[in-house]
Amino acid sequence: MREDWIQPILDEARSKGLERSALPYPEAGGKIKIDGKEVLNFSSNDYLDLAHHRHVMDCSREALDQYGIGSTASRLVTGTLPIHEELEERLAKKKGYEAALIFGSGYMANAGTIPLLAGRNDFIFADKLVHASMIDACKLSGAKLVRFAHNDVQSLETRLKQFPNTGNRKLIITESVFSMDGDIAPLAKIAALAEKYDSMLMVDEAHSTGTFGPHGAGLVRELGLEKSVTVSMGTMSKAMAGYGGFVACSKNLRTLLVQSARAFIYTTAPPPATIGAALGIMDVLESSPRLGAILQANADYFRSLLHAGDLNTLQSQSQIIPIVIGNNERAVAVSKTLRDQGIIATAIRPPTVPDGSARLRLSITLAHHIDDLDRAAEAIISVLNS
C-alpha cells in the first residue's frame, strides 16, 4: 500500500500542536449535558438557540412526512420541491433581493457562485480574512486573486487602482461578520468603492443572518445596501440552526446560476427535512424580531466582563468573541482546563486563523443566560490570568 507519505504529515502536525480531531458530543447547542453534568458550550453556532425549537422541529417533521427523507434528484432533474421554491421566495424577501437560490451548504453556495461572477481573465479582491470556502471558490474560478488588508478600505482602494479597467470583471468579496474575529466589515465604504471602481461586491453573511438586521435579515439589509451588494450569501447552518446555504441576488443572476453553477447543478437537492426546518426558522424570525438584538446585548455584556478582567477581544462587535492566546499548545491547554470546569471553548489554530494567533473563539448563544455568562467569564479570566 503506497501510504507511507501520510504518517510524516500527521507527525509534523502533532509536533506543531496542530493535530485536529472531531470529538463526538452527546448533544448539540449552547448548553448541553455531558455525563449528566450541565456544560456551557461556547463553540456552537446555534446563536439563537433554535436547534431544538418545537415549531422548527415540527416543520422539519412535516416536510419529512410529506416528502420523505430525500429530494431524490438534483434540482434540475426532479429534485425541486415546492418547499425549495417557497424557501427561496421567503429568503429573497427577507434579504430585500429579487431572488434567492439554495445550495447544499454555505461552502457550496460560495463554491457555486464566485466562479460564475469572475473567471480566468477577471480579478477578485478578497479581504485577508475571508473564509476558506470563499478562497477555495476563488481558486476554482481561475480569476486573479488580490488580497487586501483586513477591513482596510485604503488597502482595498490601492489594490483596485493597481488593476485599472481593461474590460475585465472585478469582484470584491468580504464577510459582514468575520467568522473567527467577530468584527464587522465597513460595508458602506466598501460598497462605495465597488461603485467607484465599477466592481461587483459579494458579502458572506454566514454569521450575520439571523443575528443582525430587521427580523434577522443581516447587515446588508440593515445598512440598506441591497442595491450595491451584488450577492448577499448566507447559510442555514449558523443562526438558522440547520444545514444548507443560499445566495440572494437579482433574478438575472439567479437564472445564470441555475444554468451554470456547478455546485448547484451537479448535486442532489437539499433534503426535505432541512428545508422544512429552515421554513420553520423563517417563521420564528418573523414572529420574534428581537432575538438578534437580545443576543448582541448579551454579547456586549460578556465582552465587558472579559475587558474588566483585562482580556483583549480584538475588534469583536458581534456574538463571536475571540481571545487570542498565540501559542498553539497553550491554546489547547487552556481549552482543556476550561472544559474540565464545564466550559467548552474550542481552541482554533492555524490554518483556520493566521500563524501565531491561536485563540479561543467564543460564541454567545441565547442558550446562555446572564448568570451563565458571569460564570464563564470568571472561569476564563481566572484560567488566562493564572
Ligand X SMILES: Cc1ncc(COP(=O)(O)O)c(C=O)c1O
Judged by the rule CB under 6 A, the positions of this chain that interact with ligand X are: 105-107, 131, 133, 175, 179, 204, 206, 235, 237, 245
Q: Is 19 a catalytic residue?
A: no
Cβ at position 280, least distance to ligand X in Å: 17
Among the listed residues 240, 281, 381, the one whose alpha carbon sits nearest the alpha carbon of residue 321: 381
Beta carbon of residue 219, minimum distance to ligand X (angstroms, whole number) = 13
Please pick, among 95, 131, 170, 215, the residue that the annotation labels catalytic: 131
Q: Which C-beta is closer to ligand X: that of 128 or that of 307?
A: 128
Q: Terminal CA-to-CA distance of the chain, rounded, Å?
A: 49
Residue with Cβ nearer ligand X (157 or 204): 204
Strand partners, 245: 103, 235
Measured between alpha carbons, how far is 221 from 96 in angstroms, rounded to an integer? 7
Is residue 305 left, alpha or beta, with left meaning phi > 0 and alpha meaning psi from -120 to 50? Answer: alpha
CB atoms within 10 A of CB 265: 15
**Minimum distance between the CB of residue 310 and ligand X, rounded to whole angstroms?**
29
Q: Which of 44, 179, 232, 298 is catalytic?
A: 179
- Beta carbon of residue 237, minimum distance to ligand X (angstroms, whole number): 4
Shortest CB 362 distance to ligand X, Å? 15
Cell of 51: 436547534
Annotation says 382 is catalytic:
no
User: For the chain, how many residues are written?
Assistant: 386
Q: In the annotation, is 204 catalytic?
A: yes
The one catalytic residue among 181, 204, 205, 226: 204
Q: Is 298 among the residues known to form the active site?
A: no
Burial classification of residue 57, based on how many CB atoms lie within 10 Å of its CB (0-12 exposed, 13-18 middle, 19 or more buried): middle
Nearer to ligand X among residue 113 and residue 133 (C-beta): 133
Burial 117-145 (b: 16+ CB within 10 A, else e): bbeeebbbbbbebbbebbbebbeebebee
Determine the Cα angle at 11 with ends 5 and 17, to 5°: 140
- Which residues are bridge partners to 41 per DSSP? 344
Annotated active-site residue 207? The verdict is yes
* Residue with Cβ nearer ligand X (197 or 264): 264
122 tagged catalytic: no
How open is the CA angle 215-220-225, to the nearest 5 degrees?
125
Query: How far, in whole angstroms, is CA 347 from its chain's centroid?
Result: 18
335 is catalytic: no
Among 53, 95, 207, 368, the one annotated catalytic: 207
Q: What are the strands of the beta sheet with 123-127, ordered from one edge? A: 99-103, 245-249, 231-235, 200-204, 170-175, 123-127, 144-148
Which is the catalytic residue, given 45, 60, 298, 328?
A: 45
Least Å distance, CB 204 to ligand X, is: 5
> Cα dist. 331→23, 30, 222, 366 in Å?
17, 21, 35, 25
**Which residue minimizes CB distance to ligand X?**
106
Q: What's the grid cell of residue 162?
A: 493597481
Measured in degrees and rounded to the nearest 5, phi and psi for residue 239 equal -65, -25
Closer Cβ to ligand X, 197 or 234, answer by number: 234
Report, in Å, the least distance between residue 107 CB and ligand X. 4
CB 283 within 8 A of CB 127: no
Please pick, among 53, 84, 215, 238, the residue that the annotation labels catalytic.
238
Work out the number of other CB atoms within 10 angstroms of the CB of residue 255: 13
Could you give the residue numbers annotated as active site?
45, 131, 175, 179, 204, 207, 238
